[in-house]
Amino acid sequence: MPSESKGVALVTGAAQGIGRAIALRLASDGFDVALNDIPACEAQLNEFELEISAKGCRACSVVADVSVEEEVKGMIEAVVKQLGGLDVLVANAGIFRMGTLLSTAVEDFDAMFAVNARGTHLCYKYAAMQMIAQGRGGRIIGASSKNGKRGLPDGTGYGATKFAIRGLTQAAALELGRHRITVNCYAPGGVDTAMMRMARSQRAQDPEAIAFAKRLPTKLLPAVGYDGQVEDVASIVSYLVSKEAHFITGECALGQLDMNISVDGGIMLS
């Protein structure tokens, strides 16, 4: 690894949206960056790799489905082989399927848990194994959501996966702290992404969702009056993977100025 590099970072679900923004930010911060996404996004991923490389850092792309254990294991091995190690994992990959408790199909529920929860678990597991073997600590970051802190009525399965990621993150933080590995997650609210635009479009055409919104006692709108951008999420990830954040672990950050983050080395978990 070049002496000027801050280390090697792997970002899953990096072909678009929040994952893409995180990868760009970490490259700008001085990390060598490994990019992951599913086979359908391979062309996007390869183009993005060239864009990252143009920033002067090393980059590689690894196609893998994070819900499949052997593919996750192979992904970590490929990153180590191509870039020389692993210092940061951002388990960003996730999917959304709209549905209430009564309407969500079992197939959709299982698909979300496979990618969002099992995928995050597998990425945490194999990244941690590599970091422990290296013996130099590391940073592991997962993708929760504001709906991992407050239930989403027309996305019950999705919200359940994001609550699961918070629990996984807390348990992993307690387990891995002795190896100098911190584990945190981010919990975006309304961020302008293709996934959010799709969800809002579906809600606008769903009579049940429209009726439910009218029954809410208050509108769930940002106090600032506008949606966030993907770069706003990338900024909190940039800090959580930094050396300065070594005493923050087991936390779930809502955004750049989340005042609920405890700087206590993992005594209290939120």
Active-site residue, selected from the candidate residues 124, 146, 162, 186: 162
162 is catalytic: yes
Cα dist. 166→3, 27, 56, 235 in Å?
35, 26, 34, 20
d(CA 225, CA 158): 25
81 is catalytic: no
Q: Find the helix or strand (DSSP H, E) in which 194 lies.
A: helix 194-204
Active-site residue, selected from the candidate residues 158, 214, 219, 239: 158
d(CA 56, CA 24): 12
DSSP symbols for 14-67: TTSHHHHHHHHHHHHHT-EEEEEE-GGGHHHHHHHHHHHHTTTS-EEEEE--TT
d(CA 92, CA 26): 14
Q: Is the CB of residue 145 less than 8 Å from the CB of residue 95?
A: no
Q: Is the CB of residue 110 less than 8 Å from the CB of residue 153?
A: no
Q: Which residues does 195 contact at the CB level (< 8 Å), separation at least 6?
A: 17, 96
What is the dihedral sign for C-alpha 39, 41, 47, 53? negative
Q: Which tokens is 162 given?
A: 């994001």
**How far, in whole angstroms, is CA 147 from its chain's centroid?**
14
d(CA 27, CA 6): 10
Q: Is the CB of residue 32 less than 8 Å from the CB of residue 8?
A: yes
| Residues carrying an active site annotation | 158, 162
